[in-house]
């Protein structure tokens, strides 16, 4: 009887112990999970603390030397905004392009940013002359040696500006690529001519002139058909720098070496413009009349006729 009564008592006690053990296990499990959440939160917080903050604006250097030093140390290109106080489109670039959040997120930390006034800052004045900056806005992309990679010479909104700048490194037409090609193929007439044309398109007459002269040196017999136009462009670059005597000598050499062809015809117009700048109006008009009579179907005939009419009117009013 006692054995029969003992069994239910032991079962109830065992159930109670089991329930207590279950509750204890649940409590421990809950504390473990909570502790896990706390640890995860702490770890996540540490990760977020260590993440670099995204730039909200572009940080501009105002010192050229410091920008170049940073570019060397950080192995970055320089984006140099060359501006003037009176340039309204420069101000628009600041307000719209350089303030655009997506541009900042993508480009702010990727480049060294430099801003120079080309009329009031010494470095700005020097770079304006060195890189022949004639229009604004102009944004130069420079390497860590201060050499031009290429440039943006007009207002661009954020998206096309980003695309344009980031294409320079790989574009075969960028100044950087053309210069590299000349370094790799120093005796290539076509490579040298492409570089010279690029410099001329940027109105950098001081650098374009010697580049065209190198073409003349590489191909004196004009085998590749670029020597006559190169010699003309040497004269053009000299005249554009107001080196009129040297320009006339180049035109004399051009007419001697290549007495026929379209280039020598255009050379007469350049010679006339030089004479006009030197106040030799009679000689200039005589050359323009010769051009009109000799080359009536040339592509520049209308421009020449208009120039001649202007000069004749000026002569008549004297």
Burial class of residue 225, CB neighbours in 10 A (0-12, 13-18, 19+): exposed
CATH topology assigned to domain 60-167: Glutaredoxin (3.40.30)
107 Cβ partners below 8 Å, 6+ apart? 58, 79, 162, 165
258 — alpha (psi -120 to 50), left (phi > 0) or beta? beta
Identical fold for domains 60-167 and 175-316, yes or no, is no
- Any residues with CB less than 8 A from the CB of 214 and at least 6 apart, and which? 192, 196
Q: Are 219 and 199 in contact (CB under 8 A)?
A: no
Angle at 204 between CA 199 and CA 210, to 5 degrees: 70
Per-residue confidence of the chain (318 residues) as pLDDT tens digits? 444 444 444 444 444 444 454 544 454 445 544 445 444 444 444 444 454 456 679 999 999 999 999 999 999 999 999 999 999 999 999 999 999 999 999 999 999 999 999 999 999 999 999 999 999 999 999 999 999 999 999 999 999 999 999 999 999 999 999 999 999 999 999 999 999 999 999 999 999 999 999 999 999 999 999 999 999 999 999 999 999 999 999 999 999 999 988 899 999 999 999 999 999 999 999 999 999 998 888 878 888 989 889 888 887 766
Residue keyed to tokens 């421990």 = 28
What's the CATH superfamily of 175-316?
Tetratricopeptide repeat domain (1.25.40.10)
Edge-first strand order for the sheet with 148-152 is 60-61, 112-117, 78-83, 138-142, 148-152
φ/ψ of residue 96, rounded to 5: -110, -60
Helix (H, G, I), strand (E, B) or coil at 235: helix
- Domain spans in the chain, listed from the N-terminal domain onward: 1-51, 60-167, 175-316
């Amino acid at each position: 009887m006692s054995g029969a009564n003992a069994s239910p008592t032991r079962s109830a006690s065992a159930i109670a112990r089991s329930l207590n053990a279950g509750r204890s296990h649940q409590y421990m499990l809950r504390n473990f999970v909570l502790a896990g959440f706390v640890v995860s939160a702490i770890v996540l917080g540490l990760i977020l603390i260590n993440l670099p903050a995204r730039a909200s604006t572009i940080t501009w250097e105002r010192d050229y030397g410091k920008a170049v030093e940073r570019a060397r140390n950080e192995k970055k290109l320089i984006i140099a905004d060359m501006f003037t106080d009176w340039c309204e489109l420069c101000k628009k670039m600041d307000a719209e392009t350089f303030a655009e959040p997506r541009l900042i997120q993508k480009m702010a930390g990727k480049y060294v940013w430099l801003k120079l006034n080309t009329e009031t800052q010494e470095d700005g004045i020097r770079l304006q002359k060195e890189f022949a900056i004639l229009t604004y806005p102009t944004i130069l992309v420079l390497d860590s040696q201060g050499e031009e990679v290429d440039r943006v010479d007009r207002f661009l909104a954020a998206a096309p500006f980003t695309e344009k700048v980031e294409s320079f490194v790989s574009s075969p037409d960028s100044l950087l690529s053309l210069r590299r090609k000349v370094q790799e193929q120093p005796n290539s007439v076509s490579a040298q001519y492409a570089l010279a044309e690029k410099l001329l398109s940027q109105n950098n007459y001081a650098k374009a002139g010697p580049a065209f002269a190198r073409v003349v040196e590489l191909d004196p017999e004009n085998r590749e058909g670029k020597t006559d136009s190169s010699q003309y462009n040497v004269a053009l670059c000299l005249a554009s720098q107001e080196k009129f005597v040297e320009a006339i000598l180049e035109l004399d050499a051009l007419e001697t070496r290549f007495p026929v062809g379209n280039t020598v015809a255009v050379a007469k117009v350049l010679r006339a413009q030089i004479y006009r700048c030197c106040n030799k109006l009679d000689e200039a008009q005589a050359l323009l009349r010769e051009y009109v009579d000799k080359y009536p179907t040339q592509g520049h005939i209308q421009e020449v006729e208009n120039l001649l009419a202007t000069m004749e009117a000026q002569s008549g009013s004297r």
